Structure 1
Amino acid sequence: MSELLSYEGVTSVFLESTLRQPSLRGGDISDEAQWLTRAARGEYTDRGFGFWDFLLSSAVDASAPTRIALWKRAIKHEDQTDDLEEVDTVGFIRQLSNAAFYDLDSRRIVSLTSQVRVDGKDTELHLPMLDFALAASSHNDAVAVEMLDELGLSGNLYRSGRSYHYFGATPVPTTVMTSTLARAQLLGPLVDHRWISHQLINNRCALRISTDTTRHTQAHVLVATTLDAVN
């Protein structure tokens, strides 16, 4: 990842530290919501994506109170602005080398955001990012690379555990980042379209770089680097 940050003279990055919220189980809403949520989680386990898609589709036929309560959960958005920390690139790379973001508490998540400062640039710039919904496999390694190629994106593709994270190589203006996210959203459910919606609301992206002791135990593994990113 360090090679991306030096590619275009990035002088500092912004890290986001958050606590992962408990997974939706539905029991606090109604027995009906709990049953629907359990079925949606089974669907997600089988397919590797689509938990909310399946849940909201199923909830159409649920009782109005359950249906509306699930809609409220679906559109809830947490603003993480207060959790941002600016770190100079040299210090961030040192933290990566020292495994500072590995084996955190079970619910603690540290993410690299798209916001960067670039030497000699006064405008707000972002590194393009994408969160895939493809299950990680040798076949899907190639599929994810093909998708990035079709979107015209250069940078690094990593296995993030069960799926993939993409970190772009070239900082772009906010408008370009927004356009990139919107175009990638058309490839849902192969990309995480709900993740994209939250990034568009924030006007920036954030992808996990940490590991923890329970859910995200595997460090990111580089799958591919585009030629543009290493020239």
Structure 2
Amino acid sequence: MSKKPKLHYFNGRGKMESIRWLLAAAGVEFEESFLETRDQFEALFRDGTLLFQKVPMVEIDGMKLVQTMAILQYIAAKYNLYGNDLQERLLIDMYVEGTTDLMEIIMSQLFMQQEDKERQTNVIVRKVKKHYFPVYEKILRDHHQNFLVGNQFSWADVQLLEAILMAEEICVDVLSDFSCLQDFKERISEIPTIKAFLQPGSQRKPQPDDKYVETVRAVLQMYYKVAFTFCN
């Protein structure tokens, strides 16, 4: 029996959360090792585990993988969530890059001072409603299919749902003008593996709090405004 993937990161969302989502969507159980001290972090890159001295890091199939996008692409391909051909894979990559950009904007808010956070909230909501969600709404409306690519469940669907839920935490009615995305959210949330991950007690992480921020700062020895960029 193969070993479960082991995820090395902080006990919070950050860059690892999309990896957790994708593994959960694939029905793959995984273990986690949480970074809580600077010494733990330094031990990983002293032995060469972290090629670029950054996390996330995932142990899977006898390898120690770093760089978030590379990890996600490997998992998506391994568990048949990466399309049927090169063109579908390209579309998935494009859509995932878009949701990644959005989620990074949301994540960056966490490391801002309070007054900056309040201003950034308005910026995020505006970008979501005017720039990002109209794209996915049009894709779903134009092709009249249940999923973003190839009318089959893929990594792109998983990450779009994650982005939608993150945006709703900032603005509860952010989907009010996007009927296709509303239907998409309900439909994808009912997929059994996704539904299980959304239940209390799963390995999905809650909204980051001050304790998480302070842990990241202490481990990475970074300021609020740049800490999140060192986890990719």
Structure having the higher helix fraction is 2
TM-score (norm 2): 0.27
Structure having the higher strand fraction is 1
TM-score (norm 1): 0.27
| Higher alpha-carbon Rg | 1
